[in-house]
Amino acid sequence: MWQSSAAAGRLLLCSGRSWLQLRGYSSTVISGKTVEDGVLSSFRSICGEDGVSLGQAVREQHGKDESVHRCCPPDVVVFPRCVEEVSALARVCHSHRLPIIPFGTGTGLEGGVGAVKGGVCFSLRKMDAVLDLHPEDFDVTVEPGVTRKALNAYLRDTGLWFPVDPGADASLCGMAATSASGTNAVRYGTMRENVLNLEVVLADGSVLHTAGKGRRPRKTAAGYNLTNLLVGSEGTLGIITKTTLRLYGVPEATASAVCSFPSVQAAVDSTVQVLQAGVPIARIEFLDDVMIDACNRFSSLNYPVTPTLFLEFHGSERSLEEQVSTTEEITQSNGGADFQWARDAETRSRLWKARHDAWYASLALRPGCPIAGHVGDGNFHCVMVVNPDDPDELHRVHLFTQRLARRALAMDGTCTGEHGVGLGKRSLLCEEMGDPAMRAMQSVKEALDPLNLMNPGKVLQPGGPGDAQQLFLHLD
Amino acid sequence: MWQSSAAAGRLLLCSGRSWLQLRGYSSTVISGKTVEDGVLSSFRSICGEDGVSLGQAVREQHGKDESVHRCCPPDVVVFPRCVEEVSALARVCHSHRLPIIPFGTGTGLEGGVGAVKGGVCFSLRKMDAVLDLHPEDFDVTVEPGVTRKALNAYLRDTGLWFPVDPGADASLCGMAATSASGTNAVRYGTMRENVLNLEVVLADGSVLHTAGKGRRPRKTAAGYNLTNLLVGSEGTLGIITKTTLRLYGVPEATASAVCSFPSVQAAVDSTVQVLQAGVPIARIEFLDDVMIDACNRFSSLNYPVTPTLFLEFHGSERSLEEQVSTTEEITQSNGGADFQWARDAETRSRLWKARHDAWYASLALRPGCPIAGHVGDGNFHCVMVVNPDDPDELHRVHLFTQRLARRALAMDGTCTGEHGVGLGKRSLLCEEMGDPAMRAMQSVKEALDPLNLMNPGKVLQPGGPGDAQQLFLHLD
């Protein structure tokens, strides 16, 4: 199965798998060179006997994310326990010209963790401390093993929370690396707006703090924005070993709502008008009729089988009333019907059950093409259920993906509203950005990773200058 | 006069002039090489006879911003009318190794426009079109001659506005280049959060679109974030020739308030609690007792001479009531007194007069050191009134600036919450960032501007690799 996405007003393709491209690429993949015994001894001396694994199961587990991209196991998996170990391991890799692939929770959707050129997977799960919580300044620093759910559990009694929610219980450093967002980005922004500082180990083992060591400025104009250069770099510029995050006060109250519409356009118009009216909506999610039908069947619900918006409001008790009534008026003026809303947790959870189960509902659907979208961002997912063993079907899906992405691009949009580029979107990225921007990205990559050791083969097209160098290094 | 800044909870130094450093540097400045006649002919053939100026008055006007940094006039000022002319001019500069200094409105505060190595000033004021307004998508694209006030006048009947407000009526592309923010960043973010795409001419004349040509994605995860690499690059990576901006709905209603406090701490505590309570405050500004006294005298007001908060609320009529009452409760619990608020424009304007006149009030004050701060961001300005002809006084001010900045750094803060680095903050930037981050910035600079032609001598320290190269090119 793959998913993809487009938008309200214009189209944003989110996550399409480029099958042919992937297959074409795999024929040029160089099988991982055997890691020498001396290298393994060095790794073991750095992070202990149980910090280095060559086992096939472990390597395969670390060569694949949650997408359909085929598994590319690394030659070895290392489990560092601190930034000093990450740095020491990177120095060994650097001196032996071994690719480095950072691994968080493996919940990505663009094949970002596959070791397409072999090399060493850095699994960061042992580094799982929450550090330096500053409630009065609304910030916290976490190591890469800390997931968003673990952080929010840690924060439970502080009155604070971290809102970026891509669905999966991803690691926060991995979310920074892939510029994750999700359902409530419309209110709280994505990782781009919520990372204050990053500790990064570069390919040569040097340790960089993108906003200076230990700093956590809420606002700064201090030199080039290295923080946002690393956010979304997908492991191709360095290994993120610490992330300092902006926190938010837990809202006093929450309300959820659901509303059915006679057409996609009516739902989209309602969304635009709700935003224009300045309603500080926390989530506004769209499911089309096919998706609603699948959810009804999967979750035993009985929503009208029409385009539907799922909404969530955060605020004080008083402000919620106003947000909900303004929104209801707008939906009614667009022909919306069956507007239901609730404040108590149980009813809210029931109202949103269809949206939460959408992923699994679509897995149970075959064939079909439902659409689910974070319409507040102009971003939607188009979910297609495919048989990965049917090459003809995969080919047709690939052609459809390309068409969908190009339609998004033709409407001033992007081929990837979220989920990143990874393996699957590299050629579309070139179409989206154009040559000068791609050259700039290549030169930034070469500036920070001149040997192309950091997660090689991702984001940038094979055949770029960095990639050629990598081939050279492997062949000589 | 100079200003500087620090913060609530921690200290953020904002804009300190490093006098000694500036003077030390000026002794190594190479006087601008004479621009050859052939180069001038090329310039004239590109942008016309009246598009090239060698006049002393014009050059001096373009060699200085609104700071105390001494005027460094360029050798020549060019006035391109479109991106093609900017690109053609840049190619000429590139082939003759002439420095390029972009110039917007000259309202910067860190000496960013001085031609410290001579060269060609690109005044962009003739490119003043507002392009591609998309009200339904909340975005607009502007050329570099469009100022924020001009854009908001253009938007007047659309129900939309652009909120970032650094005080001066700066050009929006200049605001992007310097990562400007200002009083309502606490609600709407800075330029970092509000630029969707940039058209940039690089030193070699190539034209780059940081998010792809014509694109305006509200949310994207497409490759390296070139947009935010260019935002805040202060003309050292390229010339911004178009900016696509995020717009907001004009709030249904606005309320302003003023409140006096027994201590700085009580005002700061109130600010933190207002933010913790989730009040979506639009502006929250702090003036200390010295500043209030100066404002009282300058604007014939009679505020109590104590630390004071100026607040502004945006929202619906109903939500304003709640925001104001929550805020008043919080200020009272911290000993705040004389809480006054108003909705009508005239009274609001009267309430905020002191804050709006603060800059001029402090100019009229001598001697003294008032403090004004965007406390919602943890960012404050410390304004000192100095006699620029008194070297001893300047020396003492310099020492104070350094102490203030280092105290901000010791509290995990930044030496420049806004206004950028320019000339004045280069050595402090190195202290703040540390060697690995400075090396990364240098390598990014070299990647995009290998000849160090773009606004040389700014942001990065002289003596860096790029700078050495520039010296070489000038001397050979």
3 state SS for A140-163: EEECCCCEHHHHHHHCHHHCEECC
DSSP 3-state of B265: helix
- A18 CB-near residues (< 8 Å, 6+ apart): A398, A401, A402, A423, A424, A425, A426, A427, A428
Which residue in B has a C-alpha nearest to residue A442's C-alpha? B447
Distance from the Cα of A301 to chain B's closest Cα (Å) equals 32
Which residue in B has a C-alpha nearest to residue A185's C-alpha? B219
d(CA B182, CA B373): 10
Cβ of B228 within 8 Å of Cβ of A228? The answer is: yes
How confident is the model at residue A207, as a pLDDT? Answer: 98
Q: Comparing C-alpha atoms, which of A20, A99, A207 is closest to residue A469? A: A99
- Strands of the sheet containing A76-78, edge to edge, are A52-53, A76-78, A120-123, A100-103
d(CA B237, CA B200): 9
In the numeric block, the tokens 């019907």 are attached to A337
Cα-based angle B366, B371, B373 (whole degrees, multiple of 5):
145
Cβ of A459 within 8 Å of Cβ of B278? The answer is: no
**How distant is the alpha carbon of residue A143 from its chain centre?**
18
Q: What's the burial of A354, exposed, middle or buried (CB within 10 Å: 0-12/13-18/19+)?
A: buried
Residue type, B225: N
Distance from the Cα of B94 to chain A's closest Cα (Å) equals 17
How confident is the model at residue A383, as a pLDDT? Answer: 78
> Crossing angle of helices A19-26/A391-410, nearest 10°?
120
Q: What's the burial of A383, exposed, middle or buried (CB within 10 Å: 0-12/13-18/19+)?
A: buried
CA torsion angle A167 A170 A174 A176 (round to 10)? 50
Query: What would the mean pLDDT of B446-463 be, rounded to a whole number?
Result: 92
How confident is the model at residue B367, as a pLDDT? Answer: 58
How confident is the model at residue B208, as a pLDDT? Answer: 96
On the question of pLDDT at A454 being above 50, the answer is yes
pLDDT band of A177, cuts 50, 70, 90: very high
How confident is the model at residue B466, as a pLDDT? Answer: 37
On the question of pLDDT at A31 being above 60, the answer is no
Q: Which residues does chain A have within 8 Å of residue B202's beta carbon, measured at their own beta carbons? A: 436, 440
On the question of pLDDT at B448 being above 90, the answer is yes
How confident is the model at residue A227, as a pLDDT? Answer: 97
Task: Give me the phi and psi of B233, to 5 degrees please.
Answer: -85, -5
Condensed to tens digits (0 to 9), the pLDDT of residues A137-147 reads: 999 999 999 99
How confident is the model at residue A147, as a pLDDT? Answer: 97
How confident is the model at residue B317, as a pLDDT? Answer: 85
For domain A253-385, give the fold.
Alpha-Beta Plaits (3.30.70)
Residue A56's Cβ-side half-sphere holds a number of Cα atoms within 13 Å equal to: 0
In the numeric block, the tokens 């940094």 are attached to B69
Condensed to tens digits (0 to 9), the pLDDT of residues B108-155 reads: 988 999 999 999 999 999 999 999 999 989 999 999 999 999 999 999
Q: Which residues does chain A have within 8 Å of residue B446's beta carbon, measured at their own beta carbons? A: 447
Q: Comparing C-alpha atoms, which of A118, A111, A114, A73 is closest to residue A96? A: A118
In the numeric block, the tokens 């014939």 are attached to B300
User: 3-state DSSP: chain B helix, strand, coil percent, rounded to 5?
Assistant: 40, 20, 40
How confident is the model at residue A183, as a pLDDT? Answer: 84
Of B389 and A437, more confident: A437
How confident is the model at residue A467, as a pLDDT? Answer: 41
DSSP 3-state of A266: helix
Give the number of other CB atoms < 10 A from CB of residue B292. Answer: 24
Condensed to tens digits (0 to 9), the pLDDT of residues A301-336 reads: 889 999 999 999 998 888 899 999 999 999 999 999
Q: Is A371 left (phi over 0), alpha (psi -120 to 50) or beta?
A: beta
Q: Comparing C-alpha atoms, which of B357, B453, B375, B473 is closest to residue B417? A: B375
Q: What's the burial of A38, exposed, middle or buried (CB within 10 Å: 0-12/13-18/19+)?
A: exposed
Of B159, B414, B440, which has the smallest distance from its Cβ to A217's Cβ? B414
Cβ of A221 within 8 Å of Cβ of B419? The answer is: yes
- B349 CB-near residues (< 8 Å, 6+ apart): none
Which residue in A has a C-alpha nearest to residue B237's C-alpha? A224
- Specify the pairing of strand A253-260 against strand A207-209: unpaired
Which residue in B has a C-alpha nearest to residue A461's C-alpha? B223
On the question of pLDDT at A12 being above 80, the answer is no
How confident is the model at residue A366, as a pLDDT? Answer: 66
- Top-ranked range on mean pLDDT: pick from A347-351, B77-81, B187-191: B77-81
How confident is the model at residue B4, as a pLDDT? Answer: 40
> Crossing angle of helices A264-276/A317-333, nearest 10°?
140
Instruction: Work out the widest C-alpha separation in chain A, in whole angstroms.
Output: 71
Q: What's the burial of A62, exposed, middle or buried (CB within 10 Å: 0-12/13-18/19+)?
A: buried
Report the DSSP beta bridge partners of residue A246: A139
Cβ of B224 within 8 Å of Cβ of A232? The answer is: yes
In this structure, chain B runs to a length of 476
Chain A and chain B share a number of CB contacts under 8 A equal to 279
d(CA B172, CA B353): 25
d(CA B218, CA B139): 9
d(CA A380, CA A451): 37
- Average pLDDT of chain B is 86
Q: What's the burial of B23, exposed, middle or buried (CB within 10 Å: 0-12/13-18/19+)?
A: middle
How far, CA to CA in Å, does B192 sit from each of A228, A366, A419, B179?
Answer: 10, 43, 21, 6
Of B389 and A273, more confident: A273
Best to test chain A binding among B206, B313, B412, B448 (most A CBs inside 10 Å): B412
- A403 CB-near residues (< 8 Å, 6+ apart): none
Distance from the Cα of B210 to chain A's closest Cα (Å) equals 6
Cβ of A436 within 8 Å of Cβ of B326? The answer is: no
Q: For B195-264, where are the E strands, in sequence order? A: 195-201, 207-209, 239-246, 248-249, 253-260
Q: Comparing C-alpha atoms, which of A401, A380, A423 is closest to residue A110? A: A423
Condensed to tens digits (0 to 9), the pLDDT of residues B396-408 reads: 888 888 898 899 9
Same fold, A130-249 and A253-385: no
- Average pLDDT of chain A is 86
Condensed to tens digits (0 to 9), the pLDDT of residues A69-123 reads: 889 999 999 999 999 999 999 999 999 999 999 999 999 988 999 999 999 999 9
| Alpha-helical segments (H) within B4-96 | 19-26, 37-47, 56-61, 83-95
How confident is the model at residue A33, as a pLDDT? Answer: 52
- What is chain A's Cα-based Rg? 23
Tokens of A65: 């994310």
pLDDT band of A13, cuts 50, 70, 90: very low
- Top-ranked range on mean pLDDT: pick from A310-314, B9-13, B313-317: A310-314
Condensed to tens digits (0 to 9), the pLDDT of residues B66-108 reads: 887 889 999 999 999 999 999 999 999 999 999 999 999 999 9
Task: Give me the phi and psi of B44, to 5 degrees please.
Answer: -65, -35
Q: So what's the architecture of B253-410 in CATH?
A: 2-Layer Sandwich (3.30)
Cβ of B278 within 8 Å of Cβ of A316? The answer is: yes
Q: Kindly provide the b/e burial profile for residues B91-130, where b requires at least 16 CB atoms within 10 angstroms of the residue's own CB.
A: bbbbebebbbbbbbbbbbbbbbbbbbbbbbbbbbbbbeeb
Condensed to tens digits (0 to 9), the pLDDT of residues B348-359 reads: 988 888 888 887
Share of chain B above pLDDT 70, in %: 89
Cβ of A221 within 8 Å of Cβ of B181? The answer is: yes
Domain residue ranges of chain A, discontinuous segments joined by +: 130-249, 253-385
- Strands of the sheet containing B2-4, edge to edge, are B2-4, B379-384, B371-374, B281-287, B308-315, B253-260, B337-342
How confident is the model at residue A25, as a pLDDT? Answer: 28
Of B209, B226, B441, which has the smallest distance from its Cβ to A226's Cβ? B441
**How distant is the alpha carbon of residue A386 from its chain centre?**
22
Which residue in A has a C-alpha nearest to residue B437's C-alpha? A208
**Terminal-to-terminal C-alpha distance of chain A:** 39
Distance from the Cα of A175 to chain B's closest Cα (Å) equals 11
Q: Which residues does chain B have within 8 Å of residue A211's beta carbon, measured at their own beta carbons? A: 414, 433, 437
How confident is the model at residue A3, as a pLDDT? Answer: 37
d(CA A306, CA A59): 45
Q: Comparing C-alpha atoms, which of A93, A109, A43, A22 is closest to residue A462? A: A22
**DSSP letter, residue B118:** B
How confident is the model at residue A19, as a pLDDT? Answer: 25
Give the number of other CB atoms < 10 A from CB of residue B250. Answer: 18
Q: Comparing C-alpha atoms, which of A240, A318, A324 is closest to residue A282? A: A324
On the question of pLDDT at A472 being above 70, the answer is no
CATH: 1.10.1740.10, 3.40.720.10, 3.90.420.10, 3.30.465.10. Which one for B130-249?
3.30.465.10
pLDDT band of B329, cuts 50, 70, 90: very high
Cβ of B232 within 8 Å of Cβ of A217? The answer is: no
Q: Which residues does chain A have within 8 Å of residue B208's beta carbon, measured at their own beta carbons? A: 436-437, 440
| Prediction ipTM score | 0.88
How confident is the model at residue A463, as a pLDDT? Answer: 59
Q: Comparing C-alpha atoms, which of B226, B73, B197, B76 is closest to residue B134? A: B197
